[in-house]
Amino acid sequence: MSFDLLVKKIKEKGNPSVAGLDPKIEYVPEYIRKKAYTQYGQNLKGASEAIWEFNKGLIDALYDVVPAVKPQSAFYEMYGLHGEEIMHRTIEYAKEKGLYIILDVKRNDIGSTAEAYSKAYLGRTEVDGVECDACGVDCVTVNPYLGTDGIMPFVNDCKKYNKAIFSLVKTSNPSSGELQDLISDDKHIYEKVAECVNKWNEDTVGDSGYGAVGAVVGATYPAQAEVLRKLMPKSYFLVPGYGAQGGGAQGVKPCFNDDGMGAIVNSSRGIMCAYKQGDWKEEQFAEAARAEAVRMREDLISVI
């Protein structure tokens, strides 16, 4: 019911990073795309099958380097049902390889609907008494805008099924401040959300010292990350914005606790498109991704 499993996998790999699987079709090497279009057509099916080949290659090259992968649901939903299908396939494959799965869905809704989302990804779906797995992952991202009763269904399933969530707190995008940086009672809204995260996290702290409710804190705002690290000592941070979005290792340093734990840093494009940098050939995309994942690991370890 906590992030113990993630912490274990981070320690095993000596690597506090997660490979984002946000596969736009433009990221996929041309030879894979052409082959898939020939076999399935240049359409949503063809694109999805090309993405699957790409994902599989990436997972094969990364599974002994990174502890976790983070598929971003949007980049599968945009390919319709075929995209959804290969998202499920990718999740199953990554599970087989022993990877921790953070599904980036940023879902949220009123209580009864949040419960349905939680069943979809963390819990189980009952069909007249028969329990079924819709798409079980280890962890999902959630949005806090609706307050406690939109989050508790997820927390309850974390407790019941040993799962975890990351709530948005301070996001990495340029306009994140419009709402998140507003001041109320001398506190920023992101600090108010951090207080909520602490409350939601309260009863879930495991042996690792971290609870089941983590926080998304962008690498692009290191000053805010420093404040938030102190505010939520028992919450794991999911840190987007390293690499392509402009945050470097120094930028993510404040997200870690003094013992080098407490944060997992995401890189999506940086790893997936590593083959487009330097002298790699397309066919070496997986090798390039692995090299970048290793470089990133060393970069992170050098600052924490």
Interacting positions 262-301 with its own copies (CB under 8 A): none
**x/- binding map, residues 63-92, to its own copies, per CB under 8 A?**
---------x-xx-xxxxx-xxx--x----
Return all residues near 289 (Cβ < 8 A) that are at least 6 apart. Answer: 19, 58, 61, 62, 271, 272, 274, 275
Residue 102 engages its own copies in binding (rule: CB under 8 A): no
Binds its own copies by CB under 8 A, chosen from 192, 198, 260, 301: 192
Minimal distance, residue 13 CB to its own copies, in Å: 26
- 279 by DSSP, 3-state: which? coil
Contact in structure between 147 and 111 (CB atoms under 8 Å): no
The CA dihedral of 140, 239, 59, 39, to the nearest 10 degrees, is 70
Tokens in use for 134? 């819709």
96 binds its own copies (CB under 8 A): no
Minimum distance between the CB of residue 12 and its own copies, rounded to whole angstroms? 29
Select from 38, 125, 250, 302 the one that contacts its own copies (CB under 8 A): 125
Q: Determine which helix (DSSP H) or strand (DSSP E) holds 265, and give its type and residue range.
A: strand 263-267
Residue 47 within binding range of its own copies, rule CB under 8 A? yes
40 lines the binding site for its own copies (CB under 8 A): no
Report if residue 150 touches its own copies, rule: CB under 8 A. yes
Q: What is the DSSP letter of 142?
A: E
Cβ-based neighbours of 118, under 8 Å, separated by 6 or more = 153, 154, 156, 157
Nearer to its own copies, 110 or 303 (CB): 110
Residue showing tokens 């207080």: 195
Binding footprint of its own copies, residue count (CB under 8 A): 73
**Which region, judged by CB under 8 A, interacts with its own copies, from 107-115, 207-215, 249-257, 274-282?**
107-115
Interface residue with its own copies among 60, 97, 111, 226 (CB under 8 A) is: 111
**Annotated catalytic residue, options 56, 95, 106, 187:** 106
CB of 268 to its own copies, least distance (A): 10
Neighbours of 275 (CB within 10 A): 22
Q: With CA atoms as reference, report the closest residue to 200 among 158, 260, 228, 257.
A: 158
Q: Is 253 a catalytic residue?
A: no
Question: With respect to its own copies, which residue has the nearer C-beta, 37 or 280?
Answer: 37
Residues designated as active site: 106
